[in-house]
Amino acid sequence: MKNRFLNSSIISIGIVLVFGCSTNQDDLMQPFETGTVFPEITEVNSSYFDILDVENAYIDFDVTVDTEVAESITIEKTYKGHKTEIGTYTSVPVNIKVTAEQAVADIDGVSVNDLALGDVFLFEVIVTSKSGLRTRSNVIVNAPVACKSELSGTFDFSTVVTGVGDGGDIDGCNNPVTGEVTFEEDGAGFYRVSDATFGQYDCAWGDTPADGVTLTDVCNTVTVGGSDQYGLIYTFVILSNDGTNLELDWSNDYGDAGTTVLTRTDGSTWPLELEIE
């Protein structure tokens, strides 16, 4: 056996306990004794502002809280240190939808066209208890300015093996080698490739798929990262793309190589602007 081997974009909800201030310690602690004062994000419908369509971009999420304890919730927005309140709500659950235009409307000198890839809006939920105590909650929503990425899915592949590293058997590959490969999304714009040799490890080495290679998509520019189970590094080069079929050359630093066509059968298309750094 061989010893070897797209923007942004993104929401992250962190659990951060930040307690408010009160002149009365009993008033401060009382809401937390019930264990129900903290709100909850129940659904995220859009988690970032799409810089490629910023005029129509928005974030959208649902918030709820135990009304036995809470009187209301207030959504507070922070952008580059500029903090404002989006609104206060007494009826829950409540849907929070903020367009990019609304997000910058109260910031002097900033329009949606000034937003840049990597900018982040922070949304916090402040709870007012029935006793009148206001506390910052454990819910923080980070909404970046990013790009939509839709590379996830399971695709048919057809591979012509053109190279095999020392010890492999290229004659074992009856070109073209066919099968399926999955790009599994593991975070916005970040994908894990189920087989980076698209069948070559099986036919040339009698080995398991090349697992561990990743793709990062930022505004249709893809960076290949990670390594396979043998620590091998991969290079992908796009040869052609008609939206349905993506043809690429691939190789690793042991000498394995091939030309593969990835065909989408999921009703989606490959972005025609897709490129690999």
Please tell me the predicted confidence (pLDDT) of residue 37: 62
Residue 6 lies inside a defined structural domain of this protein: no
Looking at 195-240, list the stretches that DSSP marks H as alpha helix, in order from N- to C-terminal side. Answer: 200-205
Residue 82 domain boundaries: 12-146
Question: Terminus-to-terminus CA distance in the chain, angstroms?
Answer: 32
- Backbone φ, ψ for residue 201 (5° rounding): -60, -35
Please tell me the predicted confidence (pLDDT) of residue 43: 83
**CATH number of the domain residue 226 falls in:** 2.40.128
Q: How distant, in Å, are the alpha carbons of 165, 205, 232, 272 from that of 255?
A: 4, 13, 10, 29
| pLDDT tens track for 162-210 | 999 999 999 999 999 999 999 999 877 889 999 999 999 999 999 999 9
Closest by CA position to 198, among listed 135, 255, 251: 251
The Cα–Cα gap between 146 and 47 comes to: 10
Give the 3-state secondary structure of residue 26. Answer: helix
Please report, as a single letter, which amino acid is at residue 83: K
Residue 1 has pLDDT above 60, yes or no: no
Residue 32 has pLDDT above 60, yes or no: no
| pLDDT tens track for 241-268 | 999 999 999 999 999 999 999 999 999 9
Please tell me the predicted confidence (pLDDT) of residue 204: 98
Mean pLDDT, range 225-237, rounded to an integer: 97
Q: Pick 120 or 4 by higher pLDDT.
A: 120
What is the model's pTM?
A: 0.65
Residue 23 has pLDDT above 60, yes or no: no
Please tell me the predicted confidence (pLDDT) of residue 31: 38
Residue 7 lies inside a defined structural domain of this protein: no
**CATH number of the domain residue 31 falls in:** 2.60.40.10
Domain match, 127 and 37 both? yes
Domain match, 85 and 203 both? no
Domain match, 33 and 141 both? yes
Mean pLDDT, range 40-64, rounded to an integer: 88
Domain match, 28 and 140 both? yes
Residue 19 has pLDDT above 90, yes or no: no
Residue 21 lies inside a defined structural domain of this protein: yes
**Single residue among 146, 175, 203 that ends a domain in this structure:** 146
**Single residue among 127, 146, 165 that ends a domain in this structure:** 146
Pairing relationship of beta strands 120-129 and 134-146 according to DSSP bridges? antiparallel
Please tell me the predicted confidence (pLDDT) of residue 18: 35
**Single residue among 146, 168, 189 that ends a domain in this structure:** 146
Number of domains comprising the chain: 2
Please tell me the predicted confidence (pLDDT) of residue 17: 31
Task: Assign 142 a pLDDT band (cuts: 50, 70, 90).
Answer: confident
